[in-house]
């Protein structure tokens, strides 16, 4: 290898003016040099939530859920049960969404997250199988769940983990409930 440097490394593309400052942008560029001084509109003026809650938008979302035949969510509600639930509860849910006061059920979400984290802690399939069996899950269900390729969040709502780690399990750990009437 040669000790001589290439000629293009000796010449840098910096101008001589203001060596201690960043190079100045040319005036012919497309970007403005300073940001526009405008006040931001508060989120309450944006019609985003109104668009989300529009009848046509909700109807399209409902049809997609039906077409996908999706599995039950964190609340355990099946697609067939959704129609009756929405007929009864949609007006109040919509009003809460528009006012910004809607509160999902945090206890369910927290227990779901805890089941997911416990599942991740067990790491290997053999450990998962042994722990599920120790917690009273049948051999077949424990084997199916332990060998499942699904991720921890998805498996946290599986029958095996629901049975192995019920609400009573978390109560026994002295974990407080946020809302006794919702849990």
- 116's enclosing H/E stretch is helix 106-121
How many whole angstroms separate alpha carbon 157 and alpha carbon 61?
A: 23
pTM more than 0.75: no
Q: On the CB side of 50, how many CA atoms lie within 13 Å of its CA?
A: 5
- What pLDDT does 120 receive? 94
Q: What is the pLDDT of residue 6?
A: 56
Contact 105, 180 (CB under 8 A): no
pLDDT at position 155: 92
* Structure confidence at residue 89 (pLDDT): 80
pLDDT of residue 96: 82
Phi, psi of 116 (to 5 degrees): -65, -45
First and final C-alpha spacing in the chain: 73
Residues in the chain: 183
**Ranges of the chain whose pLDDT falls below 50:** 39-42, 45, 181-183
In contact, 132 and 145? CB cutoff 8 Å = yes
Query: Over the stretch 58-93, which tens digit does the pLDDT of each residue have?
Result: 888 888 877 877 666 666 677 777 788 888 888 888
């Amino acid at each position: 290898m040669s000790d001589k440097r290439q000629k293009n490394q000796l010449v840098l593309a910096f101008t001589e003016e203001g060596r201690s400052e960043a190079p100045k942008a040319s005036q012919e560029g497309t970007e403005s040099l300073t940001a526009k001084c405008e006040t931001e509109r508060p989120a309450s003026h944006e019609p985003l939530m109104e668009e989300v809650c529009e009848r046509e938008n909700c109807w399209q979302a409902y049809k997609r859920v039906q077409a996908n035949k999706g599995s039950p969510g964190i609340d355990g509600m099946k697609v067939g049960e959704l129609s009756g639930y929405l007929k009864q509860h949609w007006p109040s849910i919509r009003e809460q969404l528009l006012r910004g006061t809607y509160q999902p059920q945090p206890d369910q979400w927290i227990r779901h997250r805890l089941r997911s984290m416990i599942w991740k802690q067990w790491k290997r399939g053999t450990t998962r199988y042994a722990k599920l069996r120790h917690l009273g899950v049948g051999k077949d269900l424990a084997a199916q769940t332990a060998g499942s390729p699904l991720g921890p969040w998805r498996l946290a709502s599986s029958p095996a983990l629901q049975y192995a780690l019920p609400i009573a399990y978390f109560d026994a750990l002295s974990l407080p409930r946020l809302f006794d009437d919702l849990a």
